Structure 1
Amino acid sequence: MKAVGIIVEYNPFHNGHLHHAKQARQESGADLVIAVMSGQFLQRGEPAFADKWARTQMALDAGIDLVIELPYVYATAQASDFAKGGIALLDAIGCSSFCFGSEQGEINPFLNSRHLLTEHWAEYQHLIHEAVQTGISYPKALNNAYLSLTGNRPGFADLTQPNNILGFHYLEAAQNLSSAMDPLTIQRIGANFHDSIQAGMPIASATGIREAFFKGDSIEQLSAYMPEGSIASLKKTEKEYGKFGSWEKFYPLLRFTVLREGPHRLKQYAEVTEGIENLIYQSAKTEDSFESFISLIKSKRFTRTRIQRMLTHIYTGFTWQQLRSFEGPEYIRLLGMSRTGRNYLNHKKKNTTLPLVSRAADLNNSMGKLDIHATVMYLQGMGSTNLKKEFTTPPIYWG
């Protein structure tokens, strides 16, 4: 059986994601689609809108055949490490290809860009270092260095676009892994990554959907932008927790943690650097909402996303020492499967290069224990009374 892999968050699963999954299957000629999905905390440093089981159900309802979890250490990482974790898992489970959505819409510009940077790697790193020294953010430094090498010539990927950036890192990760998977991309359609909902457009961004909900729209009012399965899962989430995940909801617990730890201990947590722990602490002392809190911290050097990742690690207690101890994914955590997905696993499970895990009780290494802990902290933030849900929820079987 031939599988195509995709790396996703589904926060929540919407019509654009459905298009991506269908096109990935079609373009690859695959028999099934395997999704590596972030768990309870996401790459932009946020708690998930709905828990990983609800988002797994959304994916299965929409035709995804296998959903496996991207471990916390990669799900909450900068783009290059996020890609490293996702690509490693797709390779380990035996995918023939991987497919990502991009603003570019064609794979050759990505291949050209990757070849260029490989050929001029030392110069590229030097340009990045020089740019960072001027005080600009790291993402801006990367882009400036890249533009210096390409000279805005045609034929290269536009790495100012968020999905293009991720796509480039997927190719980079696959190359570093010496993976035999074929890279594919499809044109991203509809709303851009951060766009608000626009009336009359059937495809909205996940950011726009969440924004509309928190501004007062009901789940039913957002049904035009999501498949029926997503609507049903969100209604179930609302009934179970009485709310959806956001930093505003988690802020009282985050604020307590920051104030309890103090600046000296805050700097031990992953990505907290350059003395920003002092500003985080002082801002928590004065601000009673998350938006006012983060507005005092973000700057040209420290973007909102970078700060949110720091805050995620402070909230979960994830340290620099832990971050530096991991070299790659250590298992394949199964969250859900269709009948086709189960047949694939029966055929492939003896040939996967990482152990397949279906029960939380079997996550007995440090990476697995971190995932379990992250789930407990997420459930606490959601006000759940069932903090053992990780152990009592089996993989979801669809069909």
Structure 2
Amino acid sequence: MKAVGIVVEYNPFHNGHLYQVNEAKKMTNADVVIAVMSTSFLQRGEPAIVSKWIRTQMALSSGVDIVVELPYIYSTQKAETFANGAVSILTNLGVEFLNFGSESGNIKAFEHLVSFMGSHETEFDRLVQDYSKLGYSYPRSTSQAFSQLNSNEEMLQLTEPNNILGFHYVKAIYDQSSSIKATTTLRQQAHYHDPSITTSSIASATSIRNTLNNGTPLQIRHVMPSQSYELLTTYKQTYSLLHTWDHYFDFLQYKVLSTHVDQLRLIYECEEGLEYRVKEKMRTASSFSEWMQQLKTKRYTWTRLQRLATHLLTNTTKVEMEDAFATVKPSYIRLLGMTKNGQTYINKTKQHRDTPLITKLAKADGIQAKIEERITNVYLTPLKKEHQIAEMKQEFTRTPIMVP
């Protein structure tokens, strides 16, 4: 059986995602679609609006055959680390292809850029350091360095979020000497950050979340598969919320204000004296957005600071992350759900996997599992107590979702 892998967040699953699933399968002539999905907190440092289990159900009802977990140690990271973790998992699962959405739609452009950057790596790193010393953020420094390095050659531009991730997927395949072949699907209609829903059947996840936050769920019905819409609205009815940073701000504020700066300094991504600024600005902030607005500088982007906020909230330390990455690749792969077709693939390829594929967290051990359990417990804290207790118990013993 031939498999194509995709790396996803599904926050939430919408028609654009459905288009990619169908195109990835068609483009590669694959029998199976495998999604590596971020768990409770996402790459931009945000909580997922619904649990990983609901997002797994969304995916399995819309053409995905297997959903596995992209652990927190990869899912809340800069693009390079995020991509490395995902490619490592997909390689271990034996996929022949990786497909990603991009603003380019031309895989040759990505391959050419990876080759170009590989032959100019030393010069590029020096330029990034030079721009960082001038006070630019890391993304801005890399963009400036790339522009200077590439001034005389027409090449893929790393200014769009999906192009950036795509570049790192292709680079990770190369760096890991993986046999995976990369393919890309041109993003349709909606831009990644488009803020509003239109009459089009495809909208950005950002616009869907904005619409939901404004309390108008009916406006998103035409941009999501019906099953995804029903799962989303049922989750909100059941738990009386869709997770946003506002639901966690009181917990985060207590954590920051009750912790000495010497301890804050130990948190992952808390660098260059940020512990003082984090604490100072928290004293006067009345909301997460207000705190972030006060915290943001030219050097530190909103996304970078949101990831730090996530690590503060979850008490994820530098030492823990160092221990987690000491193993080079994930210590296990957690299966979240599969179809009958996916189950057949799992059974046929088990002898080729050298990383354990687990069906529940109780079967895992080590630092990766300990972090994941804690992160899920933190994610569930805004729920009503009875829901919170039930979900925490289930998380440890829950087995993969099975659909026909």
Q: TM-score range by the shorter chain?
A: over 0.9
Structure 2 counterpart of 1:390? 395
Q: SS at 1:350's partner residue?
A: helix
Corresponding position of 1:355: 356
Show CA shifts across 1:155-195 (max 9, x none): x2110110000000001111111001001001011211111
2:204 counterpart residue number: 205
Pick aligned residue for 2:242 from 229, 241, 244: 244
C-alpha separation in 1, matches of 2:196 and 2:177 = 40
User: 1:283 maps to what in 2?
Assistant: 281
2:21–2:64 contact (8 Å) kept in structure 1: yes
* Distance (whole Å) between structure 1 residues aligned to residue 238 and residue 275 of structure 2: 35
Summarize the alignment of residues 92-241 of structure 1 with structure 2, pairs less than 5 Å apart.
92-151=92-151, 153-154=153-154, 156-218=155-217, 220-241=218-239
The residue aligned with 1:378 is 379
Instruction: List structure 1 segments (4+ residues) > 3 angstroms apart after TM superposition.
Output: none
Residue 58 of structure 1: aligned partner: 58
What residue number does 1:261 align with? 259
Question: Which string of whole-angstrom CA distances, capped at 9 and with x for unpartnered residues, describes residues 123-150 of structure 1?
Answer: 1111111111110000011111111222
**Conserved 8 A contact 2:197-2:211:** no
Structure 1 unaligned blocks of 5 or more:
none
Kindly tell me the number of residue pairs found equivalent between the two proteins.
397
State the distance in 1 between where 2:129 and 2:219 align: 48
Q: Are the counterparts in 2 of residues 337 and 397 from structure 1 also a CA contact under 8 Å?
A: yes
Aligned equivalents of 1:379 and 1:311: distance in 2?
Answer: 17
TM-score normalised by length of structure 2: 0.96
Return the offset for 1:223. 0.7
CA distance in 2, matches of 1:389, 1:272: 32
What displacement does 1:355 show? 0.6
- C-alpha contact (below 8 Å) 2:15/2:202 kept by paired residues: yes
Quote the offset at 1:120 in angstroms.
1.1
Give aligned-pair identity as a percent. 40
Q: Could you tell me which amino acid in structure 2 is paired with residue 142 of structure 1?
A: T
Instruction: Determine the C-alpha separation between the residues in 2 that align with 1:287 and 1:181.
Output: 47
Taking the aligned partners of 1:198 and 1:214, their CA distance within structure 2 comes to 13
Whole-Å Cα distance in 2 between the matches of residues 13 and 82 of structure 1? 20
Partner residue, 1:11:
11
Amino acid at match of 2:6: I
Q: Secondary structure at the match of 1:380?
A: coil
SS of corresponding position for 2:260: helix
Question: 1:322 offset after TM fit, Å?
Answer: 1.2
- 8 Å CA contact 2:197, 2:220 repeated in 1: no
Structure 2 CA distance for partners of 1:209 and 1:152, relative to 1, 3 Å: farther
1:83 equivalent in structure 2: 83
Tell me the distance in 2 between the aligned counterparts of 1:62 and 1:46.
24
- Mapped to 2, the partners of 1:139 and 1:271 lie a distance apart of 15
Q: What letter corresponds to residue 261 of structure 1 in structure 2? A: T
| Comparing 195-204 and 329-338, the one that deviates more | 195-204
Equivalent in the alignment of 2:315: 317
Q: Which residue of the partner structure matches residue 47 of structure 1?
A: 47
CA distance, structure 1, for counterparts of residue 296 and residue 13 of structure 2: 29
CA distance in 1, matches of 2:332, 2:12: 25
What is the root-mean-square deviation in Å for CA atoms of aligned residues?
1.1
Superposed displacement of residue 239, structure 1: 2.5
Give 2:305's match in structure 1, choosing from 307, 312, 334: 307
Amino acid of the structure 2 residue aligned with 1:264: D
Deviations 1:273-314 (A, max 9, x none): 111111111222111211111110011111010001001011
Q: Which runs of 5+ in 2 are unaligned?
A: none
Deviation at 1:152, TM superposition (A): 5.7
- 2:267 touches 2:318 (CA, 8 Å); kept in 1? yes
| Residue identity matched to 1:347 | K
